[in-house]
Amino acid sequence: MVEKVIWTPRATAKLRAIIRYLELNWNEKVTREFAQKTFASIQLISDQPTMGELVDEKKQIRGFRITKHNRLFYTVADKELIVLNMFDNRQSPKNKRY
């Protein structure tokens, strides 16, 4: 179990971009549901940090599917969950950055 969640600037920027896109192109309900699902996923990962798929064994980076379009990448260090990035699954996998 982790004690603290840290968002990197990249992850924060991606989350803001996704929320801005949803606000502009969808509606408040969809935006709110996405935000709730994202933070519920963070809480779930905080309780069970190893539940995400191990995508980089050397760096201990894990991925967790939030929605069918969005994936969250994170690592755990010293009881801290570090949210590294969010990725749109419709993009080319070679654009995936942690």
Q: Which residue has the tokens 């755990």?
A: 76
Q: For residue 3, give every residue at least 6 positions away whose Cβ sits within 8 Å of its Cβ, in sequence order, or none.
A: 79, 80
pLDDT at 82: 97
Residue 7 pLDDT greater than 90, yes or no? yes
CATH topology of domain 4-90: YaeB-like fold (3.30.2310)
pLDDT at 56: 94
Q: Exposed, middle or buried, 54 (CB in 10 Å: 0-12/13-18/19+)?
A: exposed
Q: Strand 80-88 to strand 4-7: parallel, antiparallel, or no bridges (unpaired)? A: parallel
Contact by Cβ (8 Å): 87, 75: no
Contact by Cβ (8 Å): 71, 65: yes
Work out the percent of the chain whose per-residue pLDDT is above 90. Answer: 86
Residue spans of the domains in the chain: they are 4-90
